[in-house]
Structures are given as structure tokens and as C-alpha cells.
A and B are shown apart, each in its own frame.
Chain A
Amino acid sequence: MVELSTKVAVMITFEELEGIIDVVKNLHGYDVSGYTRSSLKRRVTRIMELNKLDLVELKSKLINQPGFITYFLQEITVNVTEMFRDPEFYKAVKTDVFPYLATYPHIKLWSAGCSTGEEVYSLAILLKEAGLYQRAFIYGTDINTKVLEKAKRGIYSLIKVKEYSENFIKTDPKSSLSEYYTAMYNAATINNSLKQNILFTQHSLVSDQAFNEFQMITCRNVLIYFDTNLQEKVLDLFYDSLCHLGFLCLGSKESLVNYKNAGKFKVVNKKHNIYQKIG
């Protein structure tokens, strides 16, 4: 372990990290071996800092303290998200994807790795604006049950939501974001009418299978936390979960370039990584 003299900051080594990955897998049955080592190292180090633990103490808690593994798994994921993150992407969804979705009597969407729900509500708002919401259903899934609870509540800090409305304006909306939430004190609560056709539920991209067939899947800023093998596996899962001509939307730094089945997808929007299953 490398200790920095000035702060109490510690940083575990990659070797020590492998030891922790083994404990988590062999003792608890959770496989995090497909996650990128560099990010895991930061997250585990952060858990140790927050709880003032050294490596021995961390391992002992993982082994002996009931419930610590749940906390550990919640804290190793990065849950940072926004409403209408990358407004240009949402604009592209409206122009490049929605006209196709409009041809279906029922539209099923899946936001995989939805974190605290902001992405799901963003999609819901766009669907409402386009008059598609009544025939749409959005599944928001994540491995982390703690963020899913927050997603279900749909209560966000008013200051943040005010920032999100600036993102929203950049999507050329017909409405104002304030039409979709109720403000009280410092909190903005998403309106129930927007929650009707949404289900937040746990699903692990590492260990769970396809559970439905979708016209559109968004998985943004999740694949960057996976190594290339796991990325490949998850993209296969998305392929299997899309209907013919269904859309796959990735994050602004995620693409299919290294995917072996990239040829089964058409690039709909290169800049915003929107793909359509054609093969």
C-alpha cells in the first residue's frame, strides 16, 4: 500500500485489488472481475478512506461483517448522472429514432444502468412531448438497489433540476421542465403522470439474462466501467434484447467499433453513437 504523507490518503495496489476481487467472488458469489481495474482501485480506495479502514480491516469486514458486502457493492459503482446529459444526443434521439418508434403500437424501452433515474425521466419527457408516452413503457434497470430506490421516488434537488432545465432547453423542447415536477422547499418531485409507464427494477448486466424485447435500449456511461470481454458480452445481451430494427444508444464515448457483431448494426448517428439492429 502506498501512503501519501500529507493526507491520510492511501491507494491500494493492483495486486491487493485482485485479492479483494477474489474475496468478493469466492465468499459472496459476486463477480466483479470484468470491471476495469483502474476504476475499481479508485472506488475501493475511496471506501477505505470514507470508513478509515486499512486493507486488513477492509478484508476482515468483507469476510466477517454481515451486510458490509452490500454496502461495498453499492459503493464500487459510479452513479453520477444527469437529466438530459448531452442534450445533443437527446435531440438526435428525437429526430433519428422517434419517427421509427412512432410506427409501433407498443413501444418498449430499456435504460440499462439507469442509476438514480434521471435518464429514464428524460426519455419519458421526450416521449410525452412527442405524443408517444401513452403507448410506451420504459424499464429502468441497475445493479445497485440503492440508486433504484431513489429513481423510484423521483425526488431530486431543486438546484440540480434547475441546472437540468438548461440541458433540456438545448433539446429544442416544446415545454418547460417545470411542467414535469412539483417543487417543494429544496426538492423537485417528478409528477406521477410521468411515472405511470415506468418500472425500475434490479438487473445485473454481468449475471442476468435478456428479459424482454425492446424497440430501444439506452446504455450510457456503463460500458466504460467494463473490460473488453464484459463489454462484448453485454453488447451480445443487447443484441438479443432488441427487436429487428431496434435501436441501441450508447454514451458519448462508447461505440461498437470493437464489437465483433458491429456488422449487424447500422450506424444511425455516428457522433452520438446511435445504432440500429439490421442483421
Chain B
Amino acid sequence: MERKILLLGGSAGGFSVILNIIKALERPIQRPIIVIVHRNPKYASSIEDTLSKALLQKVKTADDKETIEDGTIYFAPAGYHLLIEPDYSFSLDISEPVQYSRPSIDVTFESAAEVYKENCAAILFSGANHDGAQGLLMIKKYGGKTYVQDPLDAEVPIMPQSAIDLNAQDKILSIAEIKDYIIQLT
């Protein structure tokens, strides 16, 4: 069986949208989901626990060298970049922030691109910087599917717009379309 992955990246205005989408899931999603959001390490919250209780599937912070399992939603830990190894496990990295961000969406997207190739799907949400655009482009180059939240829909359009400027997306989706897309993965 081929391993698949769904990556969700967002920053200002994107975090809440991603959370709402996840919370609205009525059935567990088969393929693993990785969420990369910029959050302050100081408030590195227990959102994973809260979601895990509310949902029918496992939600957790990604651990170093943990094997990526189906049916699980992983969050990138605050303060570290989240990388994906060719053997489908995570590695953490504390190198310099990228686009002022650690975790950086670019870093995880770029690292997933070659591992999952055409089995990688990624969505870039609202945000106030340029993180994620290069990574999305890399996923596209490796044959993965790339989507951005419609900048018109986004609280802060800078992030999805910078991906569109690179033509990194296969499709621009409204929030409703993103929900539909994710639900058809369940």
C-alpha cells in the first residue's frame, strides 16, 4: 500500500480555520495529517489534547523519530522544525528560523515533497508572511497536489497570495471547498 499524506500549513488567521475544519470532521481520515502552524512556544498549548478528546481520531504533537501512522493528526511542536525522513518517520530540527518561523511551513513541505511525491497533498492557509510558498512549489514539482486558501477568503491574504505569485498551486479553494476536499478523503 502506498503511503499518503495531507499537510496543512497556516499562520495568522489560518490556525482557527484549520482547527474548525479538523473539529468538523465527522469521520476519521485514513491518511495522516500534519499541521504546521506558527504558534508562540510560550503558549505552546494543549490544543492537541483538546482535539484528541473531541475527535474520533488520535491528535498529537509529532515526536522525534516517531513513525508516521495512518489515522493520526500530528502537530509540529513549537520551537522546532518538523522534518520527514525517507522511512516515513519524523525528525526535529532546531536550525535557524525560516521566514522568521520555527516551525516553518516551507521546511516541512519541502521535506515531505520527495518522500511522498504524488501521494502528497498540501493546503496553505491564511497568514501574514511568505512561509509555505516555496515548499508548496516543491511539492508541486514532485507531482503532489497543492492547494491554497482563496486570498479573498483569508483573514490575512499574504501567505496564500505569495504561493499564487509563484504559481505553486494546482487550485485555489474557498473554505467550503477545502472542507469538501478533506471530507472526500475520509
Contact surface of A with B, Cβ cutoff 8 Å? 2, 4-7, 9, 11, 13-14, 36-39, 41-42, 78, 80, 221, 223-225, 227-228, 231, 252-254, 258
Contact = CB atoms under 8 A, between A and B. Distances in A.
A231 B92 CA distance: 14
A237 B171 CA distance: 51
Contacts of B91: 36, 38-39, 224-225
Contact of A224 (B64, B84, B138): B64
22 contacts: A2-B138, A4-B141, A5-B166, A6-B137, A6-B166, A11-B114, A14-B86, A37-B86, A38-B85, A42-B95, A42-B107, A42-B110, A42-B111, A78-B93, A224-B91, A224-B94, A225-B91, A225-B93, A228-B65, A252-B79, A253-B64, A253-B92
B30 to A, nearest CB: 24
B119 interface: no
B118 interface: no
Contacts of A41: 111
A224 B86 contact: no
Contacts of A258: 65
Contacts of A252: 79
B134 A4 contact: yes
Contact of A36 (B83, B110, B114, B166): B83
Interface of B: 63-65, 77, 79-80, 83-86, 91-96, 107, 110-111, 113-114, 134, 137-138, 141-142, 166
Nearest to B141: A2
Nearest to B142: A2
Given A11-B138, A224-B94, A253 B114 contact: no
Contacts of A38: 83-86, 91, 93, 111
Contacts of B92: 224, 253
B49 to A, nearest CB: 15
A227 B89 CA distance: 10
A55 to B, nearest CB: 15
6 smallest A-B Cβ distances: which pairs? Answer: A38-B83, A36-B91, A78-B95, A224-B92, A38-B111, A221-B94
